[in-house]
Amino acid sequence: MTHQHPLDYAITEAVLRRGDASFLGVIGSETKARRFRLRLEHRGFSAAAIAGVHCPIGLAEVPGKRPMEVAVSVAAQVIALYQRRPLPEQVAAPARLPVTALLTQWDNNEENH
């Protein structure tokens, strides 16, 4: 969620290379999504990895491009994702932990239950 497509792409590629994210969403248009998919394909990422990139992020049922519409759409998608599986009883995370680390911790907690 930056203002620079090259930085968004670099972050997307880094998250995919780590391979431990449960969800990867990128704000952007369908055009940006197509460009990212092509670049990822040329960089050797698998079709499954590329399919795991949600761009544009957000629910299609909540359209709009204004910031508040995008925020509601993204929040709705995140809520829908976590409602599909039970939350761990406790997720103890230190402040300022990166989202990918939180998701990894969540996944690890689920495996232990």
For the domain that residue 70 is a member of, what is the CATH number?
3.40.50.720
Q: What is the mean pLDDT of residues 85-99?
A: 51
Range of the domain at 66: 5-111
For the chain, how many residues are written?
Answer: 113
**Cα separation, 113 vs 30, whole angstroms:** 38
Alpha helices (H) along the chain: 5-18, 30-42, 47-51, 67-83, 99-111
Asked which of 11-20, 33-42, 58-67, 86-95 is least confident by mean pLDDT, the reply is 86-95
**Cα separation, 55 vs 41, whole angstroms:** 15
More confident residue, 61 or 1: 61
More confident residue, 105 or 41: 41
What is the predicted pLDDT for the residue at 63? 85
**pTM reported for the whole predicted model:** 0.68
If one counts the domains in the chain, the total is 1
| Average pLDDT value for the chain | 81
